[in-house]
A and B are shown apart, each in its own frame.
Chain A
Amino acid sequence: MNLLIAGGRVVDPSQNLDALIDVRIENGVVVEIGEHLQACDEERFDAAGAVVAPGFIDMHAHLREPGPTHKETIATGVAAAVAGGFTALACMPNTEPALDTPALIAEVKRLAEIADLARVYPIAAITRGRAGQELAPYWKLHDAGAVAFSDDGTTVENPRVLRQGAIYARDVPGVFISHCEDGALKGDAVMHEGAHSAYLGLCASPGLAEHIIVARDLLIASDTRKPFHIAHLSSAMSLELMRFARAHDIPATCEVTPHHLLLQDDRFTAFDAQAKVNPPLREAADISALRAAVRDGTIDAFATDHAPHAAQEKALLLSCASVGFTGLETAVGAYAAALPDLPLSRFVALLSTNPARILGVPGGTLRIGSIADVTIFAQRPWRVDASRFHSLGKNTPFDGATFERRAIATIIAGRIVMRDGDVCTTSTGGEVCRRR
């Protein structure tokens, strides 16, 4: 695929680049970057007024396949990804069955190839069946294409099991991704423990439920030297623990979701299950600490925790309702809304360069010779309309919100797969776009 992206502001933190220059792509690879490149016979993309960045990578998405495909399929998930500006995503293994065998990893990759939109990097389970007892076959899972390991959705309760796994897998490429919620402290909680939960009389989970596992897993990372990545970190104290890890050279990174940067626990005043998510929405002080930690570099990555569910699964009793939000199609706007003044180089690093580095996957750069995955975004106010999502999951707390920033094109290996919200499918030769 040959393409000239012309007139845009190229922001590529991997090479400290922020300039009004052009990018030439040939055969799916970046071949030239410079001012006023002359078009040859390739397609020309006019990026004037927009930002051209290495493709965004969501390192935390739930695609539900195999398993509850009424919530999402790999095909709908990758369509949602490119619609939201993501050229790649890593999918969590809490499918049915859990992704704990090479065959299942291979099947996810096969379905992703058929869908042929965003790149899909499967994350395999840490324990068999995500049951927290026996170790998953890390080397074989790696051979099949797993890029990281996680029992996300639940915490590996037994520290001995997690430590043994980390030691065994130390030389296997791929971080251990920790979902940090202590089961006993959390109990049957549906929200964060604080003034709101006290007022509402709802079963609540204290911040401590997260902190105690963040601390434990950082200490296991220190003890085993296996790199750990803390998923969807949500509170101020967890950030202090991350800073401790940094200061003590513990191999650890962390991510934050858009919703934890924007929403707090007052969302439950109508007892609306739409606000139910793990870890729970916390307090104003946590939100400001998270925003500060994005700015000061304590947080390494933005990740959506895209968790699609059917509408009726969110319409049940709070205790029975499904957990989480769909996120791929709102992330760019939501992150910019939370941090409107964040330097663009940092914005791109958190969405592209850093996730690529943490996962050890291609991309995250527009260096000459690298794969031509590109996200083009702009300040262009838009209103979220969940009914028009490509994702099967319409469960977003941002429905109806107006965001200032959005991806306007998604380019994978030089092929434009999304333009102004329209997703292009290969079955039509990429020519006809599916309009939503």
Chain B
Amino acid sequence: MPQNHNVRSLLDLDDLTKDETQYLLDRAHDLASLPAQRDLLRDVCVVNLFFEPSTRTYTSFVIAQARVGADVVGLPPGSSSIGKGETISDTAITLAAMGVRVIVTRHPESGFPYRLANAFTGHVINAGDGSHAHPTQALLDLATLQAEFGRGKIAGLKVALVGDIAHSRVARSNIIGLRTLGARVTLVGPPTLLPNVFEREGVRIERTLDAVLGDIDVLMLLRIQRERIAAAVMPGLDDYARNYRLDEKRLRMLAPHAIIMHPGPYNRGVELTEDVLNHRGWRYAQQVSHGVPVRMAVLDFLVNGVRAAQVARV
């Protein structure tokens, strides 16, 4: 059970112990079935500091913040020279002096939230940094798995992540979270998008989707960006499709109980075909639905600590 709560910021899932991770999933589960809890962050000022466009994550955070009763300010992307001319610590000092207690931030450069958290006296939540981490996305993915397979049943699940691992913050955070909860992770992709260095204890690599389809419980597809073709990281979509696109033929190789996830936005005809969207195992909407309660739970956990009711159950 979580003890001596001292997690100040959520920068990646390795900030959390196994018990804390489980606690957040349980708390999110409870919050999802309750009415809005507008006392949880009453009078707490939260700033959403997004330097990259975001639809799902931004909206989900704003809704979560409203439902826990926080005072929320959003800074429009591109409105700041933070980190270019102004040092990161200047930004942190400025916001802290205004009484801001929580910063939710997304930034195109890996590590920005870490630098910010080092200089900020309040809490920082990483809403996605470069190719590095996206812990709340990984938490909502774990919440989806828990809803599907049951509490405590993520351990031993066979999960394959497919696609552009090298550039995916979603993949990195999911790898950490899945390992923490005991899942068996397989990464699938071509060598330029999935270097061998990703192999480690509890994480193996396969080079074709067909090699894993018959023996997995969960397939997590990742978005393929067309910039990779211009950057000569991959030849083209047809070549990618040959080994990695989930299509009607490959869907038939999946076990009946297997589910398919995607952090969105997905590209029809690239990493998946239209058939996937109609497949019984497609869980995209469920993933999104877990976003608000998971983010409410994170805000509550960082600001207020662990709830006694949950502790009793753990």
Q: Does any Cβ of B come within 8 Å of A1's Cβ?
A: no
A315 — which chain B residues lie within 8 A by C-beta?
Answer: 87-89
A201 — which chain B residues lie within 8 A by C-beta?
Answer: 110, 129-133, 167, 169, 172
B195 — which chain A residues lie within 8 A by C-beta?
Answer: 198
> Interface segment, A16-24, A228-236, A316-324?
A316-324
Q: Which residue of A lies closest to B88 (CB)?
A: A315
Known: A194-B197, A195-B197, A270-B118. A202 touches B87 (CB 8 A): no
Q: Is A270 within 8 A of B114, CB to CB?
A: yes
Q: Which residue of A lies closest to B169 (CB)?
A: A201
Known: A270-B118, A316-B83. A202 touches B110 (CB 8 A): yes
A320 — which chain B residues lie within 8 A by C-beta?
Answer: 83-84
Question: Which chain A residues in 46-75 approach chain B with CB under 8 Å?
Answer: none
Q: Which residue of A lies closest to B166 (CB)?
A: A198
Q: Is A200 within 8 A of B110, CB to CB?
A: yes
Q: Does any Cβ of B come within 8 Å of A271's Cβ?
A: yes
Q: How many residues of B contact A (CB 8 A)?
A: 25
Q: Does any Cβ of A come within 8 Å of B301's Cβ?
A: no
A270 — which chain B residues lie within 8 A by C-beta?
Answer: 114, 118
Q: Is B172 within 8 A of A316, CB to CB?
A: no
Q: Is B198 within 8 A of A318, CB to CB?
A: no
Q: Does any Cβ of B come within 8 Å of A38's Cβ?
A: no
Q: Is B132 within 8 A of A316, CB to CB?
A: no
Interface residue from A195, A200, A271, A312 paired with B87 (Cβ < 8 Å): A312
Q: Does any Cβ of A come within 8 Å of B111's Cβ?
A: yes
Min C-beta distance of B195 to chain A, whole Å: 6
Min C-beta distance of B239 to chain A, whole Å: 23
Q: Which residue of A lies closest to B110 (CB)?
A: A201
Min C-beta distance of A126 to chain B, whole Å: 30
Question: Which chain B residues in 193-225 approach chain A with CB under 8 Å?
Answer: 195, 197-198
B111 — which chain A residues lie within 8 A by C-beta?
Answer: 200, 202, 271, 318
Question: Which chain A residues in 184-212 approach chain B with CB under 8 Å?
Answer: 194-195, 198-202
Q: Does any Cβ of A come within 8 Å of B43's Cβ?
A: no
Known: A270-B114, A318-B109. A198 touches B198 (CB 8 A): yes
How far, in angstroms, from A272 to B197 measured CA to CA in the complex? 22
Q: Which residue of B lies closest to A313 (CB)?
A: B87
Q: Which residue of B lies closest to A202 (CB)?
A: B110
Q: Is A200 within 8 A of B132, CB to CB?
A: yes
Q: Which residue of B lies closest to A196 (CB)?
A: B197
A271 — which chain B residues lie within 8 A by C-beta?
Answer: 110-112, 114-115
Q: Is B84 within 8 A of A202, CB to CB?
A: no
How far, in angstroms, from A316 to B84 measured CA to CA in the complex? 6
A199 — which chain B residues lie within 8 A by C-beta?
Answer: 172
Known: A316-B88, A317-B83, A319-B109. A202 touches B114 (CB 8 A): no
Q: Is B198 within 8 A of A317, CB to CB?
A: no
Known: A201-B131, A271-B115. A316 touches B87 (CB 8 A): yes
- Per-residue CB proximity of A358-371 to B under 8 Å, as 1/0? 00000000000000
Question: Which chain B residues in 133-172 approach chain A with CB under 8 Å?
Answer: 133, 166-167, 169, 172
Min C-beta distance of B270 to chain A, whole Å: 22
A316 — which chain B residues lie within 8 A by C-beta?
Answer: 83-85, 87-88
How far, in angstroms, from A195 to B167 measured CA to CA in the complex? 14
Q: Which residue of A lies closest to B85 (CB)?
A: A316
Q: Which residue of A lies closest to B84 (CB)?
A: A320
How far, in angstroms, from A373 to B84 measured CA to CA in the complex? 44
Question: Which chain A residues in 250-287 approach chain B with CB under 8 Å?
Answer: 270-272
Min C-beta distance of B296 to chain A, whole Å: 27
Most buried by B among A194, A270, A271: A271
How far, in angstroms, from A312 to B89 measured CA to CA in the complex? 10
Q: Which residue of A lies closest to B195 (CB)?
A: A198
Known: A194-B197, A317-B83. A202 touches B112 (CB 8 A): no
Min C-beta distance of A313 to chain B, whole Å: 9
Q: Is A317 within 8 A of B109, CB to CB?
A: yes
Interface residue from B83, B85, B132, B197 paired with A202 (Cβ < 8 Å): B132
Q: Which residue of A lies closest to B90 (CB)?
A: A315
Known: A201-B130, A201-B172, A270-B118. A317 touches B197 (CB 8 A): no
Question: Which chain B residues in 76-95 approach chain A with CB under 8 Å?
Answer: 83-85, 87-89
Q: Is A317 within 8 A of B88, CB to CB?
A: yes
Min C-beta distance of B281 to chain A, whole Å: 29
Min C-beta distance of A394 to chain B, whole Å: 15
B131 — which chain A residues lie within 8 A by C-beta?
Answer: 201-202
Q: Which residue of A lies closest to B131 (CB)?
A: A201
How far, in angstroms, from A200 to B112 measured CA to CA in the complex? 11
How far, in angstroms, from A137 to B132 measured CA to CA in the complex? 47
B167 — which chain A residues lie within 8 A by C-beta?
Answer: 201
A194 — which chain B residues lie within 8 A by C-beta?
Answer: 197
Min C-beta distance of A101 to chain B, whole Å: 32
- Per-residue CB proximity of B171-189 to A under 8 Å, as 1/0? 0100000000000000000
A317 — which chain B residues lie within 8 A by C-beta?
Answer: 83-84, 88, 109, 112, 115
Q: Which residue of A lies closest to B133 (CB)?
A: A201
Min C-beta distance of B86 to chain A, whole Å: 9
Q: Which residue of A lies closest to B168 (CB)?
A: A201
Q: Is A202 within 8 A of B130, CB to CB?
A: yes
B129 — which chain A residues lie within 8 A by C-beta?
Answer: 201
How far, in angstroms, from A320 to B197 measured CA to CA in the complex? 27
How far, in angstroms, from A231 to B7 measured CA to CA in the complex? 45
Most buried by A among B85, B87, B169: B87
How far, in angstroms, from A130 to B198 measured CA to CA in the complex? 39
Min C-beta distance of A17 to chain B, whole Å: 49
A318 — which chain B residues lie within 8 A by C-beta?
Answer: 109-111
B109 — which chain A residues lie within 8 A by C-beta?
Answer: 317-319
Min C-beta distance of B131 to chain A, whole Å: 3
How far, in angstroms, from A422 to B153 measured CA to CA in the complex? 67
Min C-beta distance of A208 to chain B, whole Å: 13
Query: Could you show 5 A-B contacts with beta carbons less than 8 Å apart?
Result: A200-B110, A201-B167, A202-B130, A315-B87, A315-B89
5 closest residue pairs by CB, A with B: A271-B111, A201-B131, A201-B132, A317-B83, A315-B87
Q: A198-B166, A199-B172 are in contact. List 6 more A-B contacts (CB 8 A).
A: A198-B195, A201-B110, A201-B133, A272-B115, A315-B89, A317-B88
